[in-house]
Amino acid sequence: MVKSSTSTTQEQSPSGLPIKPIPGNYGIPILSPIYDRLHYYYFQGHMGYFKSHVVKNNSTVVRMNMAPGIFISRNPRVVAVLDAKSFRILFDPSKIEKKDIVTGTYMPSLSLYSGIRPMIYLDTTEQLHSSLKSFSFHLLASRKSQFIPTFLEAYSSLFDLIETKLASGPVEFNSLNQSSAFDFTCNAFLGAVPSEVIGSSASNKVAIWLLLQLHPLASRLTKFIPWPIDDLLLHCVPLPPCLARSDYEALEEFFSKAGESLLEDAANKFGLSRHEALHNLIFMTSFNANAAFKIFMAIILKWLVYAGETLHHRLAHEIRSAVKSSNGTITLNALGNMELTKSVVLEALRLDPPVENQFGRARTDLIIESHDTAFRVKKGELICGYQPLAMRDEKVFTNAEEFIPDRFVGEGKKLLEYVYWSNGPETAAPTIGDKQCPAKDMVILVGRLFVAHLFLRYDTFSAVHEGMLLGLEPRMVFKSVKKASDQ
């Protein structure tokens, strides 16, 4: 710092922004983390909790406690980055370490993964990360021709079932979609349908395994349980991994047989042990892909319901015209001609990414910049980014809180660099040396397939959004469907 006779020159970042202390505090040990957890899950909700800290501190970079906090995590203290600019620090592997922080301030028991650390918990500096990410790219490339036919097979059956059940009254989408999403994902990746091999309980086995990993992030089990009991069950102690042991063993047997050729490739081409490859294959398919697809399709439905029939008719016209020009079949070329459809999918991801939070630990002392201020972060501090708020940044997106279906059509495509759902900008492609989702393009493809399939079958539909399931997924209930008037 340079001093003059009358004033002190404020220190600036390399780009010329004033460097200020990060506002906010962590409060009273033990008591404040508990108080903050209750507000995060029950009194304010996720969005309200983060917004309240922004307003209170007049800053989008702020110190706070992050749920679940004690007693289930070692240290609840984070530096939150809550605008589109500061959030980008989380994508720089030269500055940010990603070891064992996917779920934030706590780490699930490794016994849930047969003792291994799945790729998602590895840092980019670990050699095993490079081998596993290369394997994941190989898996996606080797099966890419199967994505469309396996999706259409699974979701044609799903909507046939929904139509049948609608004759007796409203139909919850989520419970049926749980099975369809898992069947589709496994069929696409492995060429085997788990409900046909394991039985109808296959997706329930995955759901139990996922719950044991993610329950500290869930808001509540059911509205019928008082929140103090709910908090005690979900957020105070880890549920014992042994509850999923038999279910995981069934998955292990299924993946071991169905993925035999992939496991051989993992050993011969990428130097992975069978044990590492098998349990990462289970994780990639059941956690990364299946869980994301299951949640994402419910999110798309939610926003289509809010948008209403006018958008439904616009989508139906675009989708049917594109498919008609492609000999009546949904193809990659046909999907490429559905600009509005793709924009709708991306807008849903912007507002409601399936994974809300991203985390990273500062490798060294570094400077984080928001739009108008810079802040120092010390080596080892945990940084938390809340994506739904960062992607509703009014300085980037006009009417940022609104669902605008054609936001990313035409000139709007320039805004894609601020869509971060994949742990990286939408304009970037995942590489071996970063933590961006390797299946990023497949997720967008599946979202577009879902919308296209929906409006090839129906002119419009009626459904309601009835709260959240575990605070992680919108509960969607179909009331009626109107069959397509033209095919």
Annotated binding site for heme: 437
Contacts of residue 31, Cβ cutoff 8 Å, sequence gap at least 6? none
Binding site residue list:
437
**Residues paired with 395 in a beta bridge:** none
Whole-angstrom Cα distance, residue 125 to residue 168? Answer: 55
What residue type is assigned to position 459 of the chain?
D
Residue-by-residue DSSP string for 83-131: STTGGGGGG-TTTEE-TT-TTSS----GGGGTT---GGGS-TTSHHHHH
DSSP conformation class of 421: B
Alpha-carbon dihedral 232, 234, 235, 238, rounded to 10 degrees: 100
What is the side-by-side strand order in the sheet with 77-81?
A: 61-65, 77-81, 382-386, 357-362, 96-97
Say if residues 454 and 307 touch (Cβ distance below 8 Å).
no
CA 105 to chain centre: 17
- Determine which helix (DSSP H) or strand (DSSP E) holds 138, and give its type and residue range: helix 127-143
Rounded to the nearest 5°, which phi and psi values hold at 81? -115, 115
Give the closest residue to 60 by CA, choosing from 383, 351, 371.
371
Non-local (6+) Cβ contacts of 207 within 8 A are 178
* Among 424, 422, 418, 371, CA closest to 398: 418
d(CA 86, CA 326): 43
Return the DSSP state at 288. Answer: I
In this structure, is the dihedral angle defined by the CA atoms of residues 178, 184, 188 and 190, taken in order, positive or negative? positive
Kindly provide the b/e burial profile for residues 131-150, where b requires at least 16 CB atoms within 10 angstroms of the residue's own CB: bbbbbbebbbeebeeebbeb
